[in-house]
Amino acid sequence: MTLSEAGALELDAADPGHRELFDVPPAQGGSYPEVAYFAGNSLGLRPKAVRTELLEDLDAWAALGVEGHLDAARPWLPYHELLTDPAARLVGALPSETVVMNSLTVNLHLLMVSFYRPTRSRHRIVIEDAAFPSDSYAVRSQVRFHGYDPEDAVIRLRPRPGEDILRTADVVEQLGGDVALVLLGGVNYLTGELMDIPTITKAGHLAGAVVGWDLAHAAGNVPLSLHDWDVDFAAWCSYKYLNAGPGALAGAFVHERHLGGDVPRFEGWWSTEASTRFEMAPESRPPATADAWQVSNPPIFSMSPVRTSLELFDKVGIGVLRERSLRLTACLADLLGPFEVITPRDPARRGAQLSVRVPGGAGELSRRLRFEYGVIADAREPDVLRLAPVPLYSTYHDCWRAAAALTEVMG
């Protein structure tokens, strides 16, 4: 470990983030009042503004009742539109291509209804072998629903023997003429690898497949350009790097070339044009936007923290955050030099996460770091400890604390 504690504090003075805007939990162990929080890739910290702004929306309910749909300071009827533009800017999309709704896996299912249209000769789905389990469950259930065998129809991409991350060339090689859908994680949840989204998307299209992305670990973590990269569809959650709270509403993207046409969809109350919604017609009139994929009216009090968070990203800028993320992650990588880091060494191929392989018992190691040192990390059994220095609120001193604690625990 080449950086001293004093050196880490000097770096924080020269390169501060926005920690003061967040509620940082108190430490239950160690010598410091607050935790060194590295679990933002599982659940981001709460922005302080959430409490005030959520209470404002709750008070509108108390003061206005049903009239809050039109008369609240932030009217409920069009509330979801407040999130559309900032969400689109965050993922590099047009506002018409973007909607905030539901949860991540629900959105993936709704999108696969539209974009996984298997035939006997083309029905396979490509995912990572180390995909987050819910993605695996979702694609397997979609395959079964269409009458195919998941053991044959789901292609699970594995790294080469002795390696931990997927090579782009190896991904591209698997995109044959029988592939109907490519659905990969933009940043792999386990290894922290940032996939080459534009190259893989282009290769999938050349193979005749539809290409979608799970951006759970990418949205709010790395800059994205979904529209320019020609991605067909994408979905992401908002409770990790977007700091919108446990189970927060998710987002979805549908490229404009799929809007307004005859793409099959499930529809409901919020799938029809807002201007004609209260004509109560028996048939939907879907708009030529991603709003057509909405099924139900949105939960306002769940949207409120997402709006607060997106405003923060708009104010700071994902490009600025990415630059600080690269500096923080480089610092942590240097401090973790003695350990086996399975995340790509190339900063351009990783997000705000370093995954460390430990000799078994990752959960127990994580527990000791928390209760003995006040360092909160995320364990994936049996042998991976994930550390995410989030540029909005993590510090260089946090990185120093984590590496010092890990060094002491591991001997």
Over the stretch 21-62, which tens digit does the pLDDT of each residue have? 999 999 998 899 999 999 999 999 999 999 999 999 999 999
Looking at the structure, tell me whether residues 77 and 161 fall in a common domain. Answer: yes
| Structural domain boundaries, residue 120 | 55-314
**How high is the pLDDT of residue 244?**
98
**Which of 314, 331, 363 corresponds to the end of one domain?**
314
CATH of the domain at 81: 3.40.640.10
**Whole-angstrom distance, CA of residue 81 vs CA of residue 3:** 46
Tell me whether residue 321 is in a domain.
Answer: yes
**How high is the pLDDT of residue 1?**
59
**How high is the pLDDT of residue 383?**
95
Looking at the structure, tell me whether residues 137 and 233 fall in a common domain. Answer: yes
Q: Position 172: which residue type?
A: V
The band of 261, judged by pLDDT with boundaries at 50, 70 and 90, is confident
Mean pLDDT, residues 101-127 taken together? 98
Q: Position 77: which residue type?
A: L
The one-character DSSP state at 345 is: S
State how far the alpha carbon of 174 is from the alpha carbons of 18, 96, 159, 203, 230, in Å: 42, 32, 12, 10, 20
**Looking at the DSSP assignment, which residues form a beta bridge with residue 127?**
156
Tell me whether residue 330 is in a domain.
Answer: yes
Looking at the structure, tell me whether residues 309 and 333 fall in a common domain. Answer: no
Looking at the structure, tell me whether residues 303 and 196 fall in a common domain. Answer: yes
Q: Position 197: which residue type?
A: I
**Which of 262, 293, 314 corresponds to the end of one domain?**
314
SS3 at position 354: strand
Question: Pairing between strand 251-254 and 375-376?
Answer: unpaired
**How high is the pLDDT of residue 411?**
78
Looking at the structure, tell me whether residues 327 and 378 fall in a common domain. Answer: yes
Tell me whether residue 282 is in a domain.
Answer: yes
Residue 92's region, left for phi above 0, alpha for psi from -120 to 50, else beta, is: left
The answer to whether residue 334 scores a pLDDT higher than 80 is yes
By the 8 A CB rule, do 66 and 228 touch? no
Looking at the structure, tell me whether residues 306 and 350 fall in a common domain. Answer: no
Tell me whether residue 47 is in a domain.
Answer: no
Tell me the residue length of the chain: 411
Mean pLDDT, residues 139-162 taken together? 98
Looking at the structure, tell me whether residues 245 and 364 fall in a common domain. Answer: no
Looking at the structure, tell me whether residues 30 and 154 fall in a common domain. Answer: no
Tell me whether residue 349 is in a domain.
Answer: yes
**How high is the pLDDT of residue 360?**
78
Instruction: Give, rounded to a whole angstrom, the gap between the first and last alpha carbons of the chain.
Output: 13
Token pair 């004509």 is found at 279
Give the chain's domain count.
Answer: 2
**How high is the pLDDT of residue 95?**
98
pLDDT in tens, 262-303: 899 999 999 999 988 889 999 999 999 999 999 999 999 999
pLDDT in tens, 386-397: 999 999 999 999
For 69, the token pair is 């749909």
Backbone angles phi, psi at 251, to 5 degrees: -125, 160
38-51 b/e with 16+ CB inside 10 Å = b?
bbbbbbbbbbeebe
**How high is the pLDDT of residue 30?**
85
By the 8 A CB rule, do 292 and 286 touch? yes
pLDDT in tens, 175-219: 999 999 999 999 999 999 999 999 999 999 999 999 999 999 999
Q: How distant is the alpha carbon of residue 405 from its chain centre?
A: 28
CATH of the domain at 352: 3.90.1150.10
**Which of 291, 314, 337 corresponds to the end of one domain?**
314
pTM of the model: 0.96
Looking at the structure, tell me whether residues 379 and 285 fall in a common domain. Answer: no
By the 8 A CB rule, do 155 and 124 touch? yes
**Looking at the DSSP assignment, which residues form a beta bridge with residue 387?**
354
Looking at the structure, tell me whether residues 230 and 288 fall in a common domain. Answer: yes
Looking at the structure, tell me whether residues 246 and 127 fall in a common domain. Answer: yes
**How high is the pLDDT of residue 73?**
97
Tell me whether residue 343 is in a domain.
Answer: yes
The one-character DSSP state at 187 is: B
Tell me whether residue 273 is in a domain.
Answer: yes
Helical spans, DSSP H, in 26-102: 49-64, 68-71, 81-91
**Whole-angstrom distance, CA of residue 366 vs CA of residue 386:** 9
